[in-house]
Structure 1
Amino acid sequence: MPDPSPPIRVALVGSGGIARGVHLPALADMGERVEVTALVDPDEALMARTAAEWRVPGRYTDLHAMLAAESPDLVVVCAPPAAHKDTVIAGLDAGAWVWCEKPPALSLAEYDEVARHEGGEGGEGGEGGPFASYVFQHRFGSGAEGLRHHLAQGTLGRPLVGVCNTLWYRDAAYFEVPWRGRWDTEGGGPSMGHGIHQMDLMLSLLGDWTEVTAVMSTSARETQTEDVSMAIVRLACGATVSVVNSLLSPRETSYLRFDFEHATVELEHLYGYDNAHWRWTAAPHVDDGDAAVASWRPEEDVPSSHRAQLAALLDSMERGERPRAGGHDGRRALELVTGMYRSAIRGETVRRRDLTPDSGFYHAMHGGDPRAAASALTRTETGTSV
């Protein structure tokens, strides 16, 4: 028998809650496929506790020192959003593949700058990697994969109407973390940091958007950004989708609904789903509709999770191909968020093709004027700030 491939050597940047509670357990579930060799964090005490708990040998406070000493195959970025761009670029330039938490970057300009560093020496996205991918784990459950299969087969007919809601609750104390709710450190509010998961799942299933009309408000939280957003989105496939993102909703839910010609498909969950969270309803005109709808359920029940996405990423690394949720495929949701901010702040319908480098919103979600953005998000019916 051939010798097994050596494990993929992994380093994590950030050793806080998302690393301890999600990424390190997902890596442990990969068994001998991976070896976690190092942590990077400026908080030495936190890093030491995390490293001891997970038996990680390498401990660094400097990213570049770690990259030089460890030469990891994969860098997992668990740092706050403002650090994403520079951390991902450093990993790619060191020859590592990178898996980065959401949001991918603070702007489309940052995302596109990262993309120019993919593909090894010389960058510009050359074949074989290294590539960057972003944490959009809801794509990877068996429910979404099953729906994706039906869409490819055309069995549901055309998508016509959609609903994409992220109705969550975050109290005032949540925003006391210094980087939250700030344009310069988080990039935006629930549209950017929370609803982006459901919007990515919707776009990964139905494809690119063409135009968006949005409203946003800062209604109840001390934040520079919005705490509620609503949008009407037109998709290239012809469907129209309503999108709501809220951090003010005591009964929390994540809800997606897609009305196709021959069936309605619904998903309701909170932070993750399995097959039981999906519901399919046949259209009245469909013969043997109940039987047809019952056949959707996949043989396996794979929950949406970081673990499922990580396994797919490792497969892509081993094949030397761009992973899902990277490149254009990873840009869609960030692009939609950008269009929503431009629409809400400027009071206009925004076309996807308008988000070019000569737009201020390409470079920052507030469009280059955070004070004007704040005024737009807090105006009353009479147009005056509250």
Structure 2
Amino acid sequence: MSDPLRVGIIGAGGISRGAHLPNYQKCGERVNVVAIADVAKDRAVALAEEFSIPHAFGSFEEMLTEVDLDAVSVCVPNKFHAPAVIAALEAGCHVLCEKPPAMTVAEAEQMAKTAEKAGKILTYGFHYRHQPEVETLKRFTEAGELGDIYSARVHAIRRRGIPGWGVFTNKELQGGGPLIDIGVHMLDAALYLMGYPEPESVYGRTHQKLGNRKGVGLMGDWDWENFSIEDMAIAMVTFKNGATLVLETAFAANVEKADVMQVSLMGDKGGADVFPLKIYQEKHETLLDVTPAYLPKKGGHELEVQRFVECCLNGTTPVSVPEQGVALQKIINGIYESADTGEVVRF
């Protein structure tokens, strides 16, 4: 595929405006964003005018029919990920889809199968994989510096960080709350650093204690009277290689810090906290704490989009692949199923 890459955007919300469009523009002459579609066509038109995009549509079906595209970013609510992704792939486009992959495991599997059949790239917006802390630690784990990683802890917790915009508190459109919005980022980062081990079982609990009543909002006022998601999820995942992972994620919790995003790993040769990166080892009869003196400054969203473009143009494999999306979706849906039934879910 030759330059420039002709890109279309499905969804004219905040993630398109704040992450995808500006970072496509940073790719310069290698990318030409030529179309944007949203069910609220006026939003698509407004964003098209802001970013000098020549075409705006009221549906992705119309965009895919009317404009010749090489690649698409899917930035719509989670409920609509699968139909948009599948349509774009079948139209011959490579696809960068925002997280989480889908609403169900069956949808994630269908998306993966469609990408394989079409011979097109399907990758997901796990931008924390592109953060310098994760990239650095990945090199250490692949070199065996941590040894056998047998335990992980994942935290994605806000004190009062319920989004006061969009559809983040609407279970029908999103599928869930902090687990599938912020928890999924840290869960994916942990699994990526662990080598994406095959899950064996999951036991989960969800809580709705703070979001369904009026309170202080550090991210704007939310519609607490129609709050249909969990405000906290807790889970333990076991893997077939013997490893375990404990996850805690919340939009609202009575904790000290306003926002904590952290992955902690423990292996038989070393351990690590990722944000900020610190590695713990025992060498030469000495306990060591190792911190990098320098890390690159380029952000995860910028690298995510840049590398998607490079993969499309060069035919290389992206860092996030559909099979991992299916595995992640199994764990997410397993947590919700376990929370609903009170039972351990086995895969």
| TM range, smaller chain | 0.7 to 0.9
Does 2:226 align with 1:229?
no
Distance across 2 between alignment mates of 1:212 and 1:146: 29
Judged with a 3 Å threshold, the aligned counterparts in structure 2 of structure 1 residues 300 and 15 are, in CA distance, closer, same or farther, namely same
Of 175, 198, 208 in structure 2, the residue corresponding to residue 187 of structure 1 is 175
SS state at 1:194 partner: helix
CA distance in 2, matches of 1:317, 1:6: 10
2 CA distance for matches of 1:338 and 1:304?
29
Displacement, 1:108? 0.6
Q: Which residue in 1 is equivalent to 2:265? A: 258
The residue that corresponds to 2:245 in the other structure is 241
Task: Return the alpha-carbon distance in structure 1 between the equivalents of residues 29 and 157 of structure 2.
Answer: 39
- Structure 1 or 2, whichever has the larger Rg, is 1
Q: Distance in 1 between matches of 2:264 and 2:298?
A: 18
Aligned match of 1:134: 124
Alpha-carbon separation, structure 1, partners of 2:3 and 2:24? 15
Shift of 1:172: 6.6
What does residue range 302-317 of structure 1 map to in structure 2 within 5 Å? 302-317=297-312
* Aligned 8 A contact 1:192 1:334 in 2: no
Q: Give yes or no for the alignment of 1:109 onto 2:106.
A: yes
**Amino acid in structure 2 at the alignment position of 1:224:** S
After the TM superposition, which segments of 4 or more aligned residues of structure 1 sit over 4 Å from their partners? 169-173, 285-291
The residue number in structure 2 matching 1:91 is: 88
Q: Which amino acid aligns with 1:340?
A: I
Q: Secondary structure at the match of 1:79?
A: coil
Match of 1:157 among 104, 122, 147: 147
Q: CA deviation at 1:146?
A: 1.9
1:196-240 deviation per Cα after TM superposition (whole angstroms, max 9, x unaligned): 010011111112232222111111223333211111222344332
Deviation (angstroms), 1:290:
4.3
- Residues 1:343 and 2:338 aligned together: yes
Please, which runs of 5 or more residues in structure 1 have no aligned partner?
269-276, 354-386
For the 8 Å contact 2:160–2:258, the answer to whether it is kept is no
- Counterpart AA for 2:204: A
Instruction: Indicate the residue corresponding to 2:218 in structure 1.
Output: none
Q: Secondary structure at the match of 1:324?
A: coil
Classify the secondary structure of the residue corresponding to 2:175.
Answer: coil
* Partner SS state of residue 111, structure 2: helix
CA contact (8 A) 1:71 1:96 kept: no
Distance in structure 2 (CA, Å) of the matches to 1:258 and 1:107? 28
Greater length-normalized contact order (CA 8 Å, ≥ 6 residues apart): 2
CA spacing shift, 1:205–1:290, aligned 2, 3 Å: same
- 1:57–1:287 distance in 2 versus 1, CA, 3 Å: farther
Which residue is equivalent to 2:221? none
Whether the 8 Å CA contact 1:196–1:334 is kept in 2: the answer is no
Unaligned 5+ residue runs, structure 2?
213-226
Task: Tell me the distance in 2 between the aligned counterparts of 1:255 and 1:146.
Answer: 15
Query: Residue deviations 1:76-122, cap 9 Å, x none?
Result: 11111111111111101100011111121111111112223224xxx
Identity rate, percent:
27
Compared with structure 1, are the counterparts of its residues 347 and 299 closer, same or farther at alpha carbon in structure 2 (3 Å cutoff)?
same
Residues 134 and 274 in structure 2, CA contact (< 8 A), matched pair in contact too? no
Choose the corresponding residue for 1:324, options 319, 324, 340: 319
One-letter amino acid matched to 1:267: V
CA RMSD of aligned residues (A): 2.4
**How many residue pairs end up in the alignment?**
328
Per-residue deviation, 1:12: 0.6
Q: Residues 172 and 246 (structure 1 numbering): CA distance in 2 closer, same or farther, change over 3 Å?
A: closer
- Aligned residue in 1 for 2:191: 203
Residue in 2 that maps onto 1:49? 46
Structure-2 change in CA distance of 1:286 and 1:53 (3 Å)? farther
* Structure 2 SS opposite 1:154: coil
Q: CA deviation at 1:321?
A: 4.3
Distance 1:227 1:52 in 2: 37
Secondary structure, aligned partner of 2:192: helix
Q: 1:214 corresponds to which letter in structure 2?
A: G
